[in-house]
A = this chain, B = another copy of it.
Amino acid sequence: MTVDFFARHQAVLEEAVRAAASRAYWTPFPESPSPRNYGETANEEGRRAFEAVLGTDFPLDLPGATRMPGDEASPFGLDLNVAYPRLSPEQAVGAAARALAEWRRAGPQTWVGVSLEILHRLNRASFELAYAVQHTSGQGFMMAFQAGGPHAQDRGLEAVAYAWKEMAGIPQQARWEKPQGKQEPLRMEKQYTIVPRGVALVIGCSTFPTWNSYPGLFASLATGNTVIVKPHPTAILPLAITVRIAREVLAEAGVDPDVVQLAVHAVGDDTAQVLATHPEVRIVDFTGGKANGEWVEQHARQAQVYTEKSGVNAVIVDSADDVKAVARNLAFSLTLYSGQMCTAPQNIYVPRDGIRTARGHVGFDEVAGEIAAALENLTADAAKAPELLGAIQSPATEARIEAAEELGLPVLAQSRPLVHSQFPKARIRTPLLLRAEAGHPAIQREWFGPVAFVVATDSTAHSIALAGAGARTHGALTLSAYTTDQAVAQAVRETAEQAGVSLSLNLTGGIFVNQSAAFSDFHGTGANPAANAALCDTAFVASRFRVVQTRWHV
């Protein structure tokens, strides 16, 4: 049975390995929710599956679990009222440790085959996942479908592909013959066994519960570790569905389903800390805020720790052919999911003397005004805007808008509440755009959510220096620059390489700086404080397993 899973998906696996090596466009999971891709009934079935669990006990059998009413409230205004089975940290780690010996012995083909089958079934459940992601994260439906479904599955598959490539590169056995001059050579037989590190923990976040969890989940699972998935207490459902599907596949493979477990907990308790520092937990994948991520990095000393935290993403505007095209692209990046993407720009550096464009010099105020106008334009249609904006995931993020307004900085675009036609209680706000001087302390910290600054600098050189220092000090997942000058582009690139941040140049078309494509774009670099790992590269998988060799004379 387990060999079947590997054989069933081997062709896709090999394509995935090739795609990651070439970094050209590739995906086996269509991003369009079109019935042509997913069937005529998929959307309706997914919605019904989502609605069926509202107000009920989520159907997941975790032996020994107690019942915990969830704290999930949709940012669109729905109370989910789902109850989940709850394991104590000791129960979860104990079961994960017990499941480990059998899973270890199953070997790489089974680990990878099971992982691929889970991804395949997650893809078929993309609509159910989309509704669950929408009503926990607040993402608009299309984004919830794409980022929560196929794009997340891509990132999981990418991790499996890297894991497989590394494991397949280690021979199962070798004959070693050392010449001994005129005597017979010394001959040894050696066997190399891939062993997992142990119990792995995945700590999910509230804004991208699947996209940000799948790389770690699948990287650990595909390398033979048993995995405890700890969702954010306000975004449990998408990961509960994921774990339910994983356990179904494990059971079909004849393996203890406790290889993958869910560990829900109440807001504000210490479950994450207890799990992350448990002596049996040997791998932690964390996505979330800076303070919690740094806590894990500092305290989970017994584990390999992979973090994606947050940062202050910058845009450098030096010169452009068409300032309106720049503004449209930036406005979209600021609007998309209300700036709640870890890749969304925050500080837009523009020289206070203005910039060069194809139609001549354009002053700072005009550049800032164009961005503000593009923002207003994008969000003007109150019926359509919420799909792009999504809803604000947490009241804390909404409160941050008010805190930004209280900075007293000149307002370029106001944050307006919008009313969603379908979900009148949805927490929807347009982005707040402020003008700041380069020295203002507010731009030196992260304003997670729909808050951005157009920052007046002394010059492009000053902009570059600020962007570089910001990435080095506070971390950054993206850097964007607009310039028609090759020397400036080269200087920005040099700074990006020094600061370890990925650079997008002159995006004015259908690609936005916050977007990152699996198999092609490395998400994060691991080279600045925003993240200590990149999704996905060899470093992300290579330490999740070890090799134990046995040798003897022949």
Contacts and interface: CB of A to CB of B under 8 A. Distances in A.
Nearest to A533: B543
A526 B283 CA distance: 13
A48 interface: no
B546 A506 contact: no
Contacts of A527: 195, 197, 546, 548
A25 interface: yes
Interface stretch (A347-355, A390-398, A446-454, A491-499): A491-499
Interface string A494-512: 0011101111111111110
Given A171-B22, A542-B542, A543-B526, A500 B195 contact: yes
Contacts of A177: 24-25
Contacts of A179: 25
B176 A25 contact: yes
Interface in A312-346: none
A503 B174 contact: no
A510 B184 CA distance: 11
A538 B542 contact: yes
A110 interface: no
Among the interface residues A506, A507, A511, which one has the most CB atoms of the partner chain B within 10 A? A511
A176 B520 contact: yes
Nearest to A520: B176
A23 B192 contact: yes
Interface size class of A (residues with CB under 8 A): 35 or more
Contacts of A23: 171, 174, 176, 190, 192
Contacts of A497: 104, 193, 195, 548
Contacts of A507: 552-553
A175 B547 contact: no
A174 B24 contact: yes
Q: Which 4 A-B pairs have the closest CB atoms?
A: A23-B174, A539-B542, A527-B546, A505-B552
15 contacts: A23-B171, A23-B174, A23-B192, A176-B520, A186-B510, A190-B521, A195-B527, A197-B527, A500-B548, A503-B551, A505-B551, A506-B553, A522-B547, A526-B546, A538-B542
Interface of A: 21-25, 101, 104, 166, 169-171, 174-180, 186, 188, 190, 192-193, 195, 197, 297-298, 301, 493, 496-498, 500-511, 517, 520-522, 525-527, 534, 537-539, 542-543, 546-553
Given A24-B176, A195-B525, 9 more contacts: A23-B176, A104-B497, A104-B498, A193-B497, A501-B548, A503-B548, A521-B549, A525-B547, A539-B542
